[in-house]
Amino acid sequence: MGKEYEVVHEIFNSCSNNQMRDVYIEELEIEDLETYIRTKHKDKKLKIEREDLEDGTVIYHLNTSGMLQRYTFTEL
């Protein structure tokens, strides 16, 4: 059984006319964080960098075929 997380998924817009980012927030039960990310992005060339914060938050920085994204997992 997985753990409950608040998941914040940010997609950074590379268009020069739109510097805003898309942000999606969900509460999910996840068994394995990296498997969750790879399942969501299985069709893309994926570069992943994991960052673990002192408070237990886990951040994944992604480059998906040139598009920058970030997932922040905070355990509930």
Q: How confident is the model at residue 65 (pLDDT cuts 50, 70, 90)?
A: confident
32-44: average pLDDT: 90
Helix or strand or coil: residue 43? coil
Q: Which pLDDT belongs to residue 21?
A: 77
Contact 58, 3 (CB under 8 A): no
| Range picked from 14-23, 37-46, 53-62 for highest mean pLDDT | 53-62
39-64: average pLDDT: 93
Model pTM above 0.85: yes
Residue 64 in tokens = 């998906």
C-alpha pair distances (Å), 66 with each of 14, 28, 45, 62: 9, 27, 9, 9
**Cα distance between residue 60 and residue 55, in whole Å:** 15
